[in-house]
Amino acid sequence: MEFDLHTHTSQGSACSRMVIEDLVQAACEKKLDGVCITDHDYCWDERELAKLMRASGIQVYGGVELSTAFGEILIYGVHQSLLHLRDNLPKLVQLVRDLGGVMIAAHPLRSDFLFSTLTREERGLDPINLEEIGRRPLFSFVHTFEVCNGRSSWQEIRAARQLSLLLNKKGTGGSDAHSKLSVGSCVTIFEEPVQNEAHLITQLRQGCFKAKKKEESRNVLGM
């Protein structure tokens, strides 16, 4: 089953250009089985999402993209504000665990790929070292991390996949869509048919999934 695990709406993310109804419609048009709405530091009402699920025929769940001192983290299975814990990751991890949720680092290499290799050299920056990146505290707090993000370059995606092998973690995929056009550009494919939100989280915890970027280039797939 194909899910887009990382999307944004204008109701919850000022940077997005689509309302939630357009997001769900785009997911249906692109034949997705489900979508998770992960607005910035914003929790959707489960009852409203349940109405959209019944009306659309696809699974619609709410998560959150929480901004923390260690980077942005996608959190699923928690339906309450977490802003008070954004600077206390040990307590955040404990609460998410207690509530049966899961934490996934969003595009964890984005800041490392703001500049090309040439530009990094021109700015006097060190070459990207994945072993060093893998020792960052962020990766000890989260269950796994995104390897396919619709707003990432193929170089960033390739490096994220290499890092997933280095850390022995299966990475997820999500479009990070802020417009209808981008919905479904990267997805997470689950091994078992997702029965409900709890089952989705169980598969994320157990690694029963793989990430996919639609229409990937041979360079990305062949790394």
pLDDT in tens, 104-123: 999 999 988 876 555 655 55
* pLDDT on residue 121: 55
Q: 100 or 223: whose pLDDT is higher?
A: 100
Backbone angles phi, psi at 26, to 5 degrees: -65, -40
Which secondary structure element, helix H or strand E, spans residue 93, and what is its range?
A: helix 89-98
Amino acid, res. 23: L
**Average pLDDT along the chain:** 91
Is the CB of residue 133 less than 8 Å from the CB of residue 105?
Answer: no
DSSP 115-162: S-HHHHHHTTPPPP-HHHHTTSTHHHHSSEEEEEETTS-HHHHHHHHH
Over residues 130-172, the pLDDT tens digits come to: 999 999 999 999 999 999 999 999 999 999 999 999 999 999 9
Segment 4-61, tens digit of pLDDT: 999 999 999 999 999 999 999 999 999 999 999 999 999 999 999 999 999 999 999 9
Q: Is pLDDT above 70 for 220?
A: no
Q: What is the DSSP string of 45-64?
A: -HHHHHHHHHHHSSEEEEEE
Domains and CATH numbers, the chain: 2-221 (3.20.20.140)
Q: Are 75 and 81 in contact (CB under 8 A)?
A: no
1: which 2 tokens? Answer: 């089953």
Which tens digits make up the pLDDT trace of 46-83?
Answer: 999 999 999 999 999 999 999 999 999 999 999 999 99
The whole-model pTM stands at 0.91
pLDDT at 127: 73
Please tell me the distance from the alpha carbon of residue 163 to that of residue 170, in angstroms, as a whole number. 10
Inter-CA distances, 205 with 143, 184, 200, 202, Å: 7, 22, 9, 5
Output 220 or 3, whichever has higher pLDDT.
Answer: 3
- Contact assessment for residue 139 and residue 176, using Cβ atoms and an 8 Å cutoff: no
Q: Other CB atoms closer than 10 Å to residue 85's CB: what's the count?
A: 17
Report residue 124's pLDDT band, with 50, 70 and 90 as the boundaries. Answer: low
Residue 205 has pLDDT above 60, yes or no: yes
pLDDT over 70, % of the chain: 91
Asked whether residue 183 carries a pLDDT value surpassing 70, the answer given is: yes
